Amino acid sequence: MDFHLERISVGRFRFIVDREPQQFGFCRCGCGLKTDIATYNVPGKTIKGQPLRYRSGHGAMAKKTEKEVVLKGTCLVWMGVRSSEGYAIVGHVYIHTLLYEKLTGRIPDGLELDHLCRNRFCINPRHVEPVSRAENCRRGDGTKLTYSDVAQIKSMRERGVTLKTIAKIFSVGHPHVSRICSGKVWK
């Protein structure tokens, strides 16, 4: 699939790749007029003190089935509604999943999509990979350890270094180090 196309259609949704995003503070309908400043926050839509996306009444000009996607680097960044976790959604459908399944195929049972680009707003099917839940969690933002860290932890423990010393070196709790060494986690 060539992602340099201007429009990508998936079912009833059409995604527009905007090669040159509208200038900040100007109406996104293309009229070229400046927008007002938001006086309050609306989650996923406005930020108080920042320019609005559209001038009053101009947002209705955009078709409800078209959602803007901005090309940033190789990411197709969703500019529409996002879930509480920060993923691109329409209704209760994750757009990155919808596009992946449409363009690549069904996600195997027991696997979920992991954003390789680490950008949850990205809907580029080339930037996601089906992995197990455990692997996805290991790769997540909150993960402190890598595979090489785990190998080092096991090696240090085999040489007789105490759990507390290892935990202090890697900034994790000693019960976690114990679970790693016993094979309960990071198998």
pLDDT tens-place string over residues 116-171: 887 888 888 888 989 888 888 777 665 677 778 888 999 999 999 999 999 888 88
Give kind and range of the element (H or E) at residue 9: strand 7-10
Mean pLDDT computed over every residue of the chain: 76
Asked if the model's pLDDT at residue 3 lies above 60, the reply is: no
C-alpha–C-alpha distance, residues 170 and 150, integer Å: 10
**Which stretches does DSSP call E strand in 24-123?**
66-72, 75-78, 89-90, 93-94, 111-115
Instruction: Tell me the mean pLDDT in the region 37-63.
Output: 74
Widest Cα–Cα separation across the chain: 70
pTM: 0.48
Q: What is the DSSP letter of 166?
A: H
C-alpha–C-alpha distance, residues 164 and 178, integer Å: 10
Task: State the SS3 of 102-132.
Answer: HHCCCCCCCEEEEECCCCCCECCHHHEEEEE
> Model confidence at 180, in pLDDT bands (50, 70, 90)?
confident
Q: Which of 18-22, 43-47, 178-182 has the lowest mean pLDDT?
A: 18-22
Give the side-chain half-sphere CA count within 13 A for 152: 10
